[in-house]
Structures are given as C-alpha cells and as structure tokens.
Amino acid sequence: MFVVTACRPADPDLVKIVSSLPRTGSAKHQSDTLVRGIRMAIEEAEGRVGPFRVEYLDLDDSTAAAGQWTSEAEAANARRALQDPDVCAYIGTFNSGAAKVSMPILNLGDLLMVSPANTAVGLTKPGMGTPGEPEVYRPTGRRNYARVVPADDLQGPMAADWAVRRGVKKVYILDDNEVYGKGIADLFDERCRELGVEVLGHDSIDAKAQEFKSLMASVKATKPDLVYFGGTTQSKGGQLAKDMTAAGVGAILMVPDGCMEQVFIDSAGAANLEGRCFVTFGGLPPAKLTGKGGEFVQRYREKHGELPEAYAVYGYEAARVALHAIATAGSKDRRAITDAALGIRDFDGALGHWGFDENGDTTMRTLTVNIVRNGKFEFEEVLHEADLVAEPAASAGATPAP
Amino acid sequence: MTLAVLAVAPLCLPALGGALGGQVTTLFIYCILALGLNVMVGYTGLVHLGIASFFGIGAYLLAILTVPMYPFQIGFLPATAVAVLATAGIGLALGAPTLRLRGDYLAIVTLGFGEVAKVTLRNLEQITGGMKGLNPVPPPGAGVTIGGLDLGKEFAIDPRWFYYLALASLAGVVLLMRRLEGSRLGRALVAVREDELAAQAMGISATKVKLSAFAMSSAVAGLAGCLYAASLSTTADPNAYDFNRSIMVLCAVILGGLGSIPGTLLGVAILVGFDTVLAPWADSWIQQWNINPTGSSLLSFSGWRLAIFGLALVLVMRYRPAGLIPSRRMAAELHDAPEGH
Amino acid sequence: MSAQFFLQQCLIGLTNGALIALVALGYTMVYGIIGLINFAHGDLIMLGACLALSIVGALGLAAVDPAVTWVAIAGLVLVCGLACGSLNVAVDRIVYKPLRNAPKLAPLVSAIGVSFIFMNIGLFWLGSADRSFPELLPSDNVLPDDWGLQFTQKDRLVVLIVVPLMVALSILVRWTKLGKAMRAVSQDPTAAALVGVDVDRVIAATFFIGGFLGGAASVVYSLYINTIGFQMGFQNGLYAFTAAVLGGIGSIPGAVLGGVVIGLVRALASAYVGERWTGAIVFAILIVILVFRPEGLLGRRVREKV
C-alpha cells in the first residue's frame, strides 16, 4: 500500500499541503479548530493555486497509546512529507517540542514548514533558547521554518508588565513543566523579578496529576495577589483554577494563550474564573478581528454555527501563507516555495498586515489581555510593546524585542 | 531468510528507504527493546513494568556522552558501549535489593522505578534538559570519514543507514538471545521461572540468575535506547519513556508468546506497526477518499484506534492465551495442569 | 511553616487517601480472589463518571434544592455502583473467565485490552477534552473559621461516603456467608470448591462488589475533583493499584491503609518538597517500604510452595 503511493512519480498538476497536528488525545479540540481553519483557506482558494490542484492531508502526530504527540509519529510524518514529491508545504506543529523533531528533518529537503501554534523562543531566535538553538534545527544551514504566531518572548514579560500596572505586588508562579508552559513561566518569572515584584514561589505541576489541592493550600499560605500558570488547557489549567477556588485562594489568575479556548472555561467551570481570570493572547481575539480576519470569522460562523476558537485563524493564516508561497513560486520547487514564504514582508492577512522577519517570526506583535466574563472570553485591552513599564536600569539586556 | 529480505528490501524499493524506512527502523528498535524485556518476563518469569525507563536511561546516557552541550562528545560506538554497561549497572542496582520480592510486588517496584526515573529526568533540568530533552544527538559516525564518505552526513541524510544499523543491531541481539537460550545461564533462567525452589535444590543460585536477567534485560533495553536517541537525533522528552511505553512493550512480548524470539518480534510488529504504520495509513486513506467529509470522530480510524487495539489484545489472549507463536516449552506447559495461585 | 499548615496538608492527604483507598479496594478484592491485576478498574471508574455526568445533565441535578442534593448523590452512588458492578461482572464473564487456566499473564494483557476499549467508549462519550463536572456541592468551609483550616462540603462528602462503604465491606467480608466463601476461594479455590463453595458465583460476586465500590468512587471522584476525562482512569488506577500493593495486595485493611499512606505522602511531599517531585517521592517511598516489608504493610507472608 505504502509502496504504491510512495513510488508514484510526482503528479505535475497536484500540490499537497500536509499538516501535522495532535489529532488524538487531549489536544484534539484545538487541532480540530486549526484544521477547520486550514480547510477553509483551501476551500476559499477553490482547491487551486496557480496551475495546481491542491490536496490537503491531515496527519496526526499523536498516537492512541500515548494520547498526545510523540516524537516518532512527528518524525514519521516529517519523513513521509519529505518523501512525497507532491508535498509543497508542511503546516505544523502544534507543540513546540514536536517542532524540534521535525524541523531538522524537513530542513534537509528545504520543505516549507509553517507553524500556526509554536511559541517556544528557541525555535527561531538566536541566543534566546538553549545554546546552539536555532542552528541545530537547520542542518543544511538554510532556513525553512516560519510561524504566524508571536513567540513567547513577548507574551511572558508583557504579562508581568501588565500585572505591575494593575498593582500586583506578590505573585506565585506555576507551570506545567513542558517546553511551552515552562518557557513562558520562566520569562514571566524573570520579568517579575526585574520589575521588583515579589515571586513567592515557582513550582511545576505534573500535567497528569488529577488535583492540586495540596499545592493550592501551599499557594494560599503565601497570600499572593496573582497566580500565574504557564501551561495549557491540556496540562490541567482548568483543574488548577478549580482547586484554587476550593482552597480559598483569593488571588487573580493569569494564563497564557495556551488556555485561550472555550474548553478551558468549560473545564475550569465558568464560575471559578468569572472576573478573576486573565488570558494573554498573541493577536486579537476572533470577535475583534476586522478586514480579512473579520470575513473569516463571519464565514466560519456560517459554516460551523459557532464563533471560531482563537487558534482557528492561525490555521487559516498558516495555510494562506503556504498557498501564497506556492503561487508566488509558480512551481513545485521546494526551495523556491520556502524562499517565497520566508520572503513575505507585507502580508494582507486575517491577522492584519504583517510579515516575517529574518528569523521567520511574524512581525505582528500585538498582544491582548482578555478576561473571563459570563463564561466567555471578553476582550479587555491591547498591550503594545511601547506600554512596557519604564525599564529598571539593570535589566536592559533582557528587553524582549531583539 | 527474513533477514535477507529485510536487508535487500530498501535497495530494491528506494521509497522504502524513506518514509516507511524511518518507521521500520523504529520498529526494529522496539524489537530490540522487547527482546530485552523478554529475558526478564519470558525466560525468567519476572514481570517488569518499567522497561521503558531503562530504554530512556540508555537514550539519555548516550545523549550526555555525545551532545555538544557536554564536554565528552565521544563517538557513537564508545558512547553506546558505556551507556549499555551503565544501564546494566543501574538494572543491577535496582534488582539487588528487590529480588526477594514475589512476582507482583516486584512488578510494582519496577513500575515505581519507572515513575521515579521519569520524574527525575524531567526535573533535573540542568542535566537532562527537562522537557526539552537533550539534542541534537549527532548521528553515528559523525566526523568519521571512510574513503571520502562522510559517515555522519550520510546517516543524517539517508535513512537507509539507520535502517541497516538498526537491522544489524537487531540481528546481533537475536543471535545473542539464541545463544542464551541454549546456554547454561539460559536454562537456569527457565529453571528459576518454572520452580525456584527446585532450581535452588539443583544447585542454581536463584539470586545470581535473577540478577543476570535484570542486568541483561536492562543492557539490551539501554542499547535500544541508544539507537532510539540517535535515530531521532534527540532524547525526546521524558514522557516518551513512561508507563504507557512499558505496557505496550510488555503487551507485545506476551501477545507474541512469552520466551519466544519470533513471537516477540511478531508481537512488536503487530502492536507498534498498528500505531505507527497502519493507523496513520488508514486515516489518510479515509481522508483521500473523502469518506468522512464532516470530520466526525466516529468515522475516522483514529477515533476507533483504542478500541481496535484493545479488542485485538482481548481476542488474541482469548484464543491464543500462550501468545501467537508460543515458545515450545510454554506450549507444552499449557497442556499440563495449571499451577494454583 | 506552621503547625496549622501541616494539619491542613494532612487533612487534604487523608481526604485524598480515602478516595484512593476506595479505588484500591477494587484492585485488591479482584487480586485476592483470582490473582489478576485488573488494569481496567481505573477505566471502569471513568465510565462510571461518564454515566454520573450524563445522569446529572439529563435530570438537571445541578440546579436542585440543597435538601434534595444529598438524596440525589445517594441515588447517583447507587446507580453508578450497580452499573459498574454489573459491567465488571459482564467483563469477567466474557473476557477473564475463559482464561482462568491460561498462563498468568494472559488475563493481564486482556485487562489492558479491556482498559483500552473502555477508554475508547469514554472518548466517544465525553469527547477528547476534559469535562467539568457540575458542582453539586459548594466549596464552603464546614469547620469554624477560627481554626484556620479549610475542609469543605466536598471534602466532607468523601468521608461521608467512603467510611460507611468500608465499614459495610468489612462486615460483609468478615461476618456473612458470602464473605467467608470469598476468603475461602482466595486462599485455595480448589479446596473451597471441594467443600461446596460455588467458586464461579463467588468470583462474580467479588467482581460485582469491586465494581460497585468503583462506581461509588466514580461519583465521589466526580463531585470532589469536578473534572472528568477519558484518560482519568490511568492515573486513578496507578495510585490506587500502588496503594493496594503497598498495603499488601489481597488484604482489605491493607488497601485502606495503603490509600491513606499514599494520600498523606502526596500531600506532604507537595507541601514540603515541591509539587514537581510528588510522583517520584510516592514511588520512591513505595520501593523503600517494599524492600523492608516485601509483602506490603499488612500483607500475609506467603510461604513458598514446596
């Protein structure tokens, strides 16, 4: 079976776009919304780009046994995409950890990789991750990776600035011990210390644990103004909020965009978040999108009968970048397509006008703070980099923007 | 025979060397892991629920000895040798104090060890890189040039190199296991499984025999871990070595037939093949034929994966309780009166 | 930190431990009688929780008068208990019974298979994301304020359900005819059959009681933790099974003691070492205890057969 598909020579009229997202297990809900976004972008182009017919393949990088993404499944997807001469773009991954597996593989074939959700800084930004990043992901020395979502170097620190402006003096920081959650919590932690906010504690939870009552009793004993959780809905954001209420912790809760989905509110119980939970999000929430984004939200509503989740638009945008790059290149030459994508400097996208910088990061650096009210995310305010609290002299080197 | 086919296959079908080649390589690595577990569970009759932790320890040790982050950076072969020996040592260290535990208590100790190892790997961030894992693990042969051929680069680019490396390692381990089965130690293992007291009465030191099983099992699992880390060029994160993986390998060994080499290989081929080859293939097939336009999970293969998997385990055990290819000894035993609990 | 803080953590540990113990009983009873580690027990509880969620949703129990709530909870315990008990018996009849004479590990693998099937049912029932279970009981403190301890109505519920169930179980095992038969079968099924015990019926009854306790645990769990998901069975099972072994598998008081010990260790490890090390500490202590007491805390020393 495999042999037959893999041995088939390239079809000159066909381009394939694949996505590699966790389609089984706990992240399925978010990947569903991303896939809907991708499909809508392709449908909108009527399944064609330039002279080519577009076929979309929705690959799964999780396994039933693991219930989440696995390195093998991600590596297998990357190899499979690389091997199929019709594949011209690879949309993924969802988890930053998975990107670390597939980036070096896809790089060998110059296959364009656009992530709608990776936010770990080390994937693209030199000097901000572990030593050797991001070069280790580029064995050929050339680039092939871009992301349409802002990285965490903005979100973590700006959340801290926002907290200070709100008058927060003492914080307790928790994270889920994963690449994304811990990364963003560490950045938040660092910025808090710079700004003179007292960090009462910083602990990691086990995302497989079922309750955090003891932990919350410890948090309560330190009397924080704000509890920050670096993590996602899948890594028990909802349960933390619940146990926080049950333990009688009076502080406000702040979470990053990994929790910006309705499932988070549902899993936490709306009453436990009401008016006390703030979510930072890279970009505008769906209800605030205008222009192309507004049209997308409109069509999504017509098609699926509900407002899109915050991430859907990133799936849509990533697919549009891929389609745009294939159209610009006008051929199935992978290098040309990749160059066309990375060369985007001004893109009239659903997220507004933005481009990729020299690292493959989006130039869009709008952050919003949203609050949970009446069981929904409500837009609270836009954060601009310019709004950062005046720099303490000692911290010049840690300013987020390079 | 099979070996010859497997050795020649990628040459004839270039496509196999790529997409499927990567998956088959993983399959070979799991086969090695399962053969390691088989020494404990199959030959010696000790239930081990934490084999994945030794798999992980092997992977991490290899990574520590080779990644740029550490000053060692010794080559793949010496690093593997050190990692395998060290994993065996850790196996002994776990085995020595726990040997007097009876079957299921020993099982839970190995399970507990697996959890401790996972949490430790995750939390000792300075050493293990936490959830980021250690990467990049250089490909075997990095920096070695033979006849103008940069081996490291070849390994990185052409998956067939790994395919052969894994195949050769697997062949080596199978050979070793064959030798073990016929050896004095191998027979002692089985004797201890069958009746520890009688074995001791015959002058076999049950302690020594069990410890050897522990060490060998751990060492072979460590070897599999080394290959795994090298083939992925990362240790992946500690969750890759959790209880789920141990259980999966254990199921493969039992499903195939305890103590049977071909059985173990078949068990792995079925279970791992199902998850990494069949399921993704079936899903993309459903997509391509547009059977499931609404994306309902009831109509996707992945929606049913767990149930199919579970049903397969139940049915095989129901109709072939000694496994698909039972070892001859086990098959004979099954017709005798079962021992009481 | 203060003594008050220590007491608070102990209180949390004991409450959690009671819940773990209730689940552990299901493992230990089945193990005691047929020597099977019933890997599917945690997932059985997950299905119980699915059923509880559906019932609460269908009957609108989340909005009833507080006076009715307790009746509703008792009803839930009964319904979910019966359902899980029956399901457990059915699984035993279909899956494990044909394997009574098979190699010891065959039923274990079958149990893992059943666990996967249950999980898939749960996946269709709940969807892949965690679901919030309606808060039938408020989180208000039942202890006087000046004690400075938090013990909510939910915590009280755990104690109010778990303790009577355990007492009932002890009475059943110790003083009824069925209990005597169960103990006889667990010691020697052949001899029990010889003296006229219907072994199959006793095994079925054991599965039913274990399943019933699991069903009750699923309701307690849902009301206490308030989050259910198709993967919850695994972690639930892991700690409970560990508790059963720690106490001495097959021993009913052992399972209770094991559950309480694990609950306390978890709470204190989280409070004094750090949440991130909790899992490692629980299992490290387990290993150390087993090294010194190889048959568990209350397990019987089994003489090697000759």
Q: How far is CA A182 from the centre of its chain?
A: 14
Residue type, B24: V
Cα separation, A19 vs A317, whole angstroms:
13
B256: in domain: no
- Residue A185 is predicted with a pLDDT of 94
Average pLDDT, chain B: 84
Q: Is the dihedral of CA A344, A348, A354, A360 positive or negative?
A: negative
- Residue A398 is predicted with a pLDDT of 39
- Residue B7 is predicted with a pLDDT of 64
Residue type, C88: N
- The neighbours of chain B, by the rule of 3 or more Cβ pairs under 8 Å, are A, C
B302: in domain: no
| Alpha helices (runs of H) in B13-150, residue ranges in sequence order | 19-38, 51-66, 76-98, 103-123, 125-128
Strand order in the sheet with A48-49: A48-49, A52-60, A14-21, A87-91, A112-115, A145-147
C175: left (phi over 0), alpha (psi -120 to 50) or beta: alpha
Q: How many helices (H) and strands (E) does chain B have?
A: 16, 2
**Would you call A6 and B18 a contact, using CB atoms and an 8 Å cutoff?**
yes
Pull the structure tokens for residue A213: 């009552």
Pull the structure tokens for residue A69: 């993404």
A2-150+289-354 CATH pick, 3.40.50.12140, 1.10.10.10, 3.40.50.150, 3.40.50.2300: 3.40.50.2300
- Report the DSSP beta bridge partners of residue A377: A372
- Residue B237 is predicted with a pLDDT of 82
The helix or strand, by DSSP H or E, that contains position A56, with its residue range, turns out to be strand A52-60
Cα separation, C78 vs C212, whole angstroms:
8
- The neighbours of chain A, by the rule of 3 or more Cβ pairs under 8 Å, are B, C
Give Dmax over CA atoms of chain A in angstroms.
Answer: 66
Pull the structure tokens for residue C227: 């989050």
Cα separation, C133 vs C225, whole angstroms:
8
Strand order in the sheet with A252-255: A198-204, A170-175, A226-230, A252-255, A277-282, A367-373, A376-383
B157: in domain: yes
Residue located via tokens 């001859």: B328
Taking a C-beta distance cutoff of 8 angstroms, is the pair C205, C182 a contact?
Answer: yes
What are the chain A neighbours of C266 within 8 Å (beta carbons)?
Answer: 214
B262: in domain: no
C217: in domain: yes
- Residue A276 is predicted with a pLDDT of 93
C154: in domain: yes
- Residue B234 is predicted with a pLDDT of 82
The helix or strand, by DSSP H or E, that contains position B334, with its residue range, turns out to be helix B328-334
Cα separation, A67 vs A27, whole angstroms:
9
Cα separation, C223 vs C53, whole angstroms:
10
Mean pLDDT on C168-190? 91
Residue located via tokens 């020993």: B106
- Residue C269 is predicted with a pLDDT of 95
Taking a C-beta distance cutoff of 8 angstroms, is the pair B91, B215 a contact?
Answer: yes
- Residue B4 is predicted with a pLDDT of 63
Please state which of the ranges A99-108, A324-333, B208-217, C198-207 shows the lowest mean pLDDT.
Answer: A99-108
Q: CA of C5: which chain A residue's CA is closest? A: A221
Q: Is B341 exposed, middle or buried (0-12, 13-18, 19+ CB in 10 A)?
A: middle
Cα separation, C144 vs A198, whole angstroms:
32
Cα separation, A338 vs A112, whole angstroms:
5
Query: What secondary structure letter does DSSP report for B278?
Result: I
- Residue B331 is predicted with a pLDDT of 63
**Would you call C284 and B314 a contact, using CB atoms and an 8 Å cutoff?**
no
Residue located via tokens 């991600």: A74
Cα separation, C53 vs C221, whole angstroms:
11
Taking a C-beta distance cutoff of 8 angstroms, is the pair A173, A141 a contact?
Answer: no
SS3 content of chain A, % helix, strand, coil (to 5): 45, 20, 35
B91: in domain: yes
Secondary structure (3-state) at C274: coil
**Would you call A182 and B305 a contact, using CB atoms and an 8 Å cutoff?**
no
B108: in domain: yes
What are the chain A neighbours of C132 within 8 Å (beta carbons)?
Answer: 238, 242, 266-269
Count of beta carbons in the 10 Å neighbourhood of residue A42? 20
- Residue B305 is predicted with a pLDDT of 80
Mean pLDDT on C272-298? 91
% of residues, chain C, pLDDT over 90 = 65
Q: For chain C, positions 159-218, list CB contacts with chain B under 8 A.
A: 188-190
Interface test with A, best of C9, C19, C130 (most A CBs within 10 A): C130
Average pLDDT, chain C: 90
B108 touches chain C (CB under 8 A): yes
Cα separation, A189 vs A254, whole angstroms:
13
**Would you call A104 and B68 a contact, using CB atoms and an 8 Å cutoff?**
no
User: What CATH superfamily classification does A152-282+366-398 receive?
Assistant: Response regulator (3.40.50.2300)
- Residue A258 is predicted with a pLDDT of 87
Q: Is the dihedral of CA C252, C255, C258, C259 positive or negative?
A: negative
- The neighbours of chain C, by the rule of 3 or more Cβ pairs under 8 Å, are A, B
Residue type, B285: W
Reported as a single tens digit per residue, the pLDDT across A16-32 is 999 999 987 777 888 88
Domains A2-150+289-354 and A152-282+366-398 share a fold: yes
B337: in domain: no
Nearest CA to C31 out of C299, C252, C250 is that of C250
* Residue spans per domain, chain A: 2-150+289-354, 152-282+366-398
Residue located via tokens 């706990």: A26
Cα separation, A214 vs B193, whole angstroms:
44
Residue type, C110: S
- Residue B297 is predicted with a pLDDT of 63
Of A215, A220, A234, the CB nearest to C275: A215
- Residue C25 is predicted with a pLDDT of 93
A52-60 vs A48-49, strand pairing mode: antiparallel
Of C8, C135, C231, the CB nearest to A217: C8
**pLDDT band, very low/low/confident/very high, at B171 (cuts 50, 70, 90):** very high
Cα separation, C203 vs C194, whole angstroms:
16
Number of domains, chain C: 1
* Shortest Cα distance, chain C CAs vs residue A245, angstroms: 8
C180: in domain: no
Residue type, C248: G
Cα separation, A190 vs A157, whole angstroms:
8
pLDDT > 50? residue B116: yes
Reported as a single tens digit per residue, the pLDDT across B74-95 is 889 999 999 999 999 999 999 9
A268 touches chain C (CB under 8 A): yes
B21: in domain: yes
Mean pLDDT on B197-209? 89
Q: Give residue C217's domain range.
A: 3-164+201-292
Regions in chain A scoring below 70 on pLDDT: 1-9, 64-67, 386-402
Q: Give residue B208's domain range.
A: 2-243
Pull the structure tokens for residue B332: 């004979």
Count of beta carbons in the 10 Å neighbourhood of residue C21? 31
Of A25, A218, A238, the CB nearest to C271: A218
pLDDT > 70? residue B101: yes
**Would you call A100 and B277 a contact, using CB atoms and an 8 Å cutoff?**
no
User: What ipTM describes this predicted complex?
Assistant: 0.90
| Cβ burial C122-137 (10 Å sphere, 16+ → b, else e) | bbebbebbbbbbbbbb
| Residue A362: φ, ψ to 5° | -70, 145
Residue partners of A346: CB distance under 8 A and separation at least 6: A353, A354, A355
Of B20, B136, B283, the CB nearest to A104: B136
Number of domains, chain B: 1
**pLDDT band, very low/low/confident/very high, at B146 (cuts 50, 70, 90):** confident
Reported as a single tens digit per residue, the pLDDT across B280-315 is 778 777 777 766 665 566 667 767 888 888 999 999
C49: in domain: yes
- Residue C137 is predicted with a pLDDT of 86
Residue located via tokens 């009574």: C100
Secondary structure (3-state) at A68: coil
B197 touches chain C (CB under 8 A): yes
Count of beta carbons in the 10 Å neighbourhood of residue A277? 26
Q: Is the dihedral of CA A258, A263, A265, A267 positive or negative?
A: negative
Residue partners of C138: CB distance under 8 A and separation at least 6: C152, C153
Mean pLDDT on C43-60? 95
**pLDDT band, very low/low/confident/very high, at B339 (cuts 50, 70, 90):** very low
